[in-house]
Structure 1
Amino acid sequence: MDRTEDTEDTGMRPRTAEAGRRTAVWIASVDSDEPQLLFATAELLLEAPNWSHDGRSLLLNGAGRLWRLDVGTPSGLVEIPLDGVPDINNDHVLSPDGRTVYVSGMDGHLYAAPAAGGKGVRLTADDGTLHFLHGVSPDGRTLAYVEIARGVAGSPGRLALMPAAGGPGKAVDTGEGHLDGPEYSPDGEWIYCNTETFTEAPGHAQIARLPAAGSVLRRVHTSDTVDWFPHLSPDGVHAAYVSFPPGTLGHPANLDVTVRLVRTDAWAVPVRTFPLFGGQGTMNVNSWSPDSRRFAFVSYPLDGRAG
């Protein structure tokens, strides 16, 4: 999600591939410093992998549509048809049972559709806000998303929760700073996010969490970098997130960033780091494999550049 995309009638449009730049989809392991290049293309700008429930494929968005990429033999992309759903952005998640995909439309609404493809259903009402999905509770009943006032340039993101079946959303008070990337911990006890609440420096997002039942938002790591999108592994042992350079505003595209792998009991000490050229689209949503041993991310290198 990018606040700069909020214009008349949302004004949001799918990102497109740039001349001379590739999309590279990578698989990283908790046991290796060297990620595996799974797939690369200059034809389509892909973003934000989800790992499928059966461990066999990744789901990515590109050109406003949803695509499946096989992990074992990645010969090409297969579109997942989402009937009745507008162009989508890079905020999409799978239900805990893997049967449903929840997506954020370019119209600012949330939709649910069969993960294998089929007819989508709009979940959100016309409540004066844009809705950007990031998390679903482990019991599958609740969606965690970011709401932003429609038509108000620079309006900060706020945490909100709603029934996964649809219905009114409820805002959660987390302070004045912009909040993004809310995602449940595997045990359902916490919501992790990034927030600008803890600093007066413009855009200085930091990783934080709050009890899923509500209460005070607390920082889990203090750093000089601008840190976005914490994603916990299914076993809760590791987390991965994206670090932008100090002074970055928002989470823009086309920057030298670092994907950091940490243990959730030691956020300050990276287990592994993966520098790459990317940012927006690299890892906006949870991309962990079901066995908690691997996770996926995307880079956007110039032709001839490795990552």
Structure 2
Amino acid sequence: MRSSVEIYDVASGQARVVWQTEQLVEAPNFSRDGRSLIINGDGLVYRLPLDGGPPSRIDTGFAVQCNNDHGLSPDGRWLAVTDKVEFGRAAIYILPADGGTPRLVTPRQSSYWHGWSPDGARVCYCGIRDDVFDIYTISVDSGEETRLTFGEGRNDGPDWSCDGWIYFNSSRTGRMQIWRIRPDGTELTRITDSPFGDWFAHPTPDGRALLVLSYDGDVFDHPRDRHVRLRMMDADGRNDRVLFELFGGQGTMNVPNWSPDGSQFAFVRYAP
């Protein structure tokens, strides 16, 4: 498997390769200064400079089974990771962005991080409770989790917009589509009504548009190594358009991947 870490420029409609490797790497996040990407591979987390050079490992302490659900806080000081070493199931931790000792955020498992609140006080995530996938939020200081969905299909992939919406994908109407909800659980709204299986909606930094990864309509989960397409649309689902197609899926853009100014986004393309 070849992993090609790339950046797509929205204005030009062109993608450029940042780094390629014969190893599996996933889920790029932009740093807050726009100079590097955070990626994961082999259970570890790395910082990839955009001015050239190989990635360097970020010290995540005992958390050495990190998956592709990670991301930096709005102020860039903290890194959220999802790791299963401590409990044998996925749990969310935060640690200093430059590395350090992880601190547990989610006392219940399995929990998969997906986004920070605009003020950095809470995180949103997919929690699996009794084999039911739902959307939750919790304070970064831990405590009681807030449940936003209640078993209506599978609910996954939440991301927090600057204007307070939490976007997520749900199979509650059959095919996986994009929905949004307020942090208090109100104003549940369907965003996409497409023939595709829609996953991982990431709002732009200004909250005006969404980037969505879409599988063929007969694909239910989010597997790796599939023909997928990346689509952009207004925040309410209008003006939907396909940007490009690629070989990817799981690992391509599971977590927030926009540059700080919203002009670019990062993704991973795979080749067998």
Q: Does TM, scored on the shorter chain, surpass 0.5?
A: yes
Contact 2:231 2:240 in 1 (8 A): no
Measure, in 2, the Cα distance between the counterparts of 1:130 and 1:247.
27
Q: Which structure 2 residues correspond to residues 96-245 of structure 1 after superposition, within 5 A?
A: 96-106=74-84, 107-125=89-107, 127=108, 129-149=109-129, 155-187=131-163, 189-199=164-174, 204-245=175-216
TM-score (norm 1): 0.84
Contact 1:26 1:38 in 2 (8 A): yes
SS at match of 1:285: coil
Measure, in 1, the Cα distance between the counterparts of 2:228 and 2:204.
21
| Alignment match, 2:243 | 273
For 1:82, give the aligned amino acid.
T
Contact 1:174 1:216 in 2 (8 A): no
For 2:4, give the aligned amino acid.
A
In structure 1, the gaps of 5 or more residues are: 1-20, 303-307
Contact 1:226 1:244 in 2 (8 A): yes
Residue 46 of structure 1, aligned match among 21, 25, 47: 25
Contact 1:184 1:212 in 2 (8 A): no
Measure, in 2, the Cα distance between the counterparts of 1:39 and 1:122.
32
Moved over 3 A (4+): 265-268
**Deviation string, structure 1 residues 211-266 (Cα, Å, up to 9, x no partner):** 12221421111000000000011112222110001110210001010111223255
SS at match of 2:4: strand
SS at match of 2:173: coil
Please state if 1:249 is matched with 2:220.
yes
Please state if 1:283 is matched with 2:250.
no
| Alignment match, 1:305 | none
Measure, in 1, the Cα distance between the counterparts of 2:104 and 2:64.
10
Measure, in 2, the Cα distance between the counterparts of 1:22 and 1:173.
37
Offset of residue 291 of structure 1: 0.6
**Deviation string, structure 1 residues 79-105 (Cα, Å, up to 9, x no partner):** 111113241000112111011001111
Distance 1:26 1:172, change over 3 A: same
For 1:167, give the aligned amino acid.
G
Give the alignment's Cα RMSD to 1 decimal: 1.5
Contact 2:138 2:145 in 1 (8 A): yes
Measure, in 2, the Cα distance between the counterparts of 1:67 and 1:225.
32
Q: Which structure 2 residues correspond to residues 22-101 of structure 1 after superposition, within 5 A?
A: 22-42=2-22, 44-71=23-50, 73-101=51-79
**Deviation string, structure 1 residues 253-284 (Cα, Å, up to 9, x no partner):** 010101112232554521x5121101000000
SS at match of 2:70: strand
In structure 2, the gaps of 5 or more residues are: none
The share of aligned pairs that are identical, in percent, is 38
Distance 1:296 1:267, change over 3 A: farther
Instruction: Kindly tell me the number of residue pairs found equivalent between the two proteins.
Output: 268
**Deviation string, structure 1 residues 31-52 (Cα, Å, up to 9, x no partner):** 122211111111x211001100
**Deviation string, structure 1 residues 109-144 (Cα, Å, up to 9, x no partner):** 11111111111112221x3x3001111100111111
TM-score (norm 2): 0.94
